[in-house]
Amino acid sequence: MGHPSAATRAGGPRHGPDNDPMTTVPAHPPTVGFDLDLTLLDTRPGIKAAFLAFSAETGVPIDADLVVSRLGPPLEQEMAHWFPAEHVTEMTARYRALYPVYAIEPTVPMPGARDAIEAVREAGGRTIVVSAKNGPHVELHLAHLGIEPHAVAGGLWAEGKAEALRAHHAQVYVGDHVGDVRAPPPPAPSPWPSPPAPAPPRNCARPARTWSCRT
């Protein structure tokens, strides 16, 4: 029996029995990234409940319906609509303390969300959830609903999401907000090999740009 190549021993490309490059096992399995709010989960009922409780606690009138109509950007941006800049950090922390109590239970999956995650898994791929929501709350939502991606990255918005997608070798990202497609990462190298170049016709020489054949 022959010895495996250095590339195979190191986890590099491996060919099928026909040594066909098109059957090569990729070094990195295809990875699909998903946003959370309004992509995998309909968090609007939970966020509305949390903001109503937050408004009651702080005594500051907040239009919770307006809040859930513009989900996507970081929470701090929403807080800036209701509080002076010097109080945004404090109010964000107070809201997040209430969030697990009010927002997890009412949240439901978006139609097709579970199927999308499972389809990637069944195809041999990996999934990562990348969200502007803070990571612990993302994980609480997913655990409550029994949705199990391979990885979670929270607290990232727009260009920041690109860093996590690159780190996980993601080729696709699925979202619902223009911020989800702003400054996307450069295309990751495809995990699948390019088809071999066609062999030249017989009796042909290949100059720099054209074929020259003898008949």
Residue 170 within a domain: yes
Interval 5-25: pLDDT, tens? 444 444 444 444 445 544 444
Domain count, the chain: 2
Query: Which two three-digit tokens encode residue 74?
Result: 């970081």
Tell me, yes or no, whether 35 and 125 share the same domain. yes
Instruction: Say how far apart CA 193 and CA 96 lie, in whole Å.
Output: 45
Contact criterion met (CB below 8 Å) for 133 and 38: no
Tell me, yes or no, whether 49 and 62 share the same domain. yes
* The model's pTM: 0.72
Residue 143 has pLDDT above 70, yes or no: yes
Provide the residue range defining the domain that includes 62.
44-102
Residue 63 identity (one-letter amino acid): D
Tell me, yes or no, whether 118 and 34 share the same domain. yes
pLDDT of amino acid 177? 82
CA dihedral 203, 208, 209, 213 (to 10 degrees): -10
